Amino acid sequence: MSFVRSRKLSSMLLFTLLFACLMGASKGGNFFQDFDITWGDQRAKILNGGQLLTLSLDKASGSGFQSKNEYLFGQIDMQIKLVAGNSAGTVTAYYLSSQGSTHDEIDFEFLGNATGEPYILHTNVFSQGKGNREQQFYLWFDPTKAFHTYSIVWNQQRIIFLVDNIPIRVFHNLESIGVPFPNKQAMRIHSSLWNADDWATRGGLVKTDWTQAPFTASYRNFKANACIWSSTSPCTSTSPNSVQDNAWQVQALDAPGRNRLRWVQQKYMIYNYCTDLKRFPQGLPPECKRSRFL
């Protein structure tokens, strides 16, 4: 079931023109074509003719990959199966990021835990190098038993984080009240599996059990309905002829979507920077005054 609404086609076309999306096509879904392995030697592997990618972590090193393309707005979907068993101390990161000290970033980070204890899904949004917008969740399923789809919808109005098409978080563009929003820097897709046992599990109290190594996370069914950025073509659509695939350009939550968001945040959210009065004794950030369910 979809929890988004699309505005009139004329608005979508105007939006497209404003961003100068050229009518080009890009094949997706093949890791050989779409990604580069960036570190980890042989710990990162592309398998099954490019349909599957695995990252591994051992005591010597983790591993990671990034997209060949940079994107400026779009919907990014990836199916991930996380490290099973005792994953305490490990972090599987999946995110969009630009480069430099004033970079933008949109984060999913999966914090491992001891066998039988739930993963923590950590989310954050950076704009112009500043983050500190963390929200954390438990998941309503075991993310190690099967693949699940983790999506980022990023347009001019908002960023929507989704898990299996269920919205878990919305970050709105509130530049009108002085809140920076990532809308000027193209970003690559990144993912990595690495050791963070100094903080990842119970604040670093639980360390990585290296007798369980290697730890492995798996990826498949990557899809980008997005604008590919280059210095010569500011935005080349990956889905130039499909109104449905370009719905991300004006995507927002409808009433059922807001209800699902409320369900997730009331039952599974375990940390929200917008309610952390001790962290912000001088007052909560201005975006926190807006209802998170809109």
Cis peptide before 118 (omega within 30 of 0): no
Q: Is the model's pLDDT at 293 over the cut of 60?
A: no
pLDDT of residue 5: 46
Helix (H) or strand (E) holding 11: helix 9-18
The single residue of 70, 105, 117, 134 carrying the catalytic annotation is 105
Could you tell me the pLDDT band of residue 233, with boundaries at 50, 70 and 90?
A: confident
Contact predicate 204/116, CB 8 Å: no
Residue type at position 101: S
134 is catalytic: no
Percent residues over pLDDT 70 in the chain: 86
Residue type at position 89: G
Structural domains of the chain, with CATH: 31-230+248-289 (2.60.120.200)
* Per-residue pLDDT tens digits for 13-68: 334 433 444 333 344 579 999 999 999 999 999 999 999 999 999 999 999 999 99
Contact predicate 76/189, CB 8 Å: yes
Contact predicate 89/206, CB 8 Å: yes
- Tell me how far apart the alpha carbons of residues 45 and 38 are, in angstroms, rounded to a whole number: 11
109 is catalytic: yes
* Per-residue pLDDT tens digits for 238-285: 766 555 668 899 999 999 999 999 999 999 999 999 999 999 999 999
Contact predicate 284/272, CB 8 Å: no
The single residue of 70, 109, 175, 287 carrying the catalytic annotation is 109
Selected residue with higher pLDDT from 27 and 150: 150
Could you tell me the pLDDT band of residue 8, with boundaries at 50, 70 and 90?
A: very low
Average pLDDT, integer, range 161-179: 97
- pTM here is 0.89
Helix (H) or strand (E) holding 257: helix 255-267
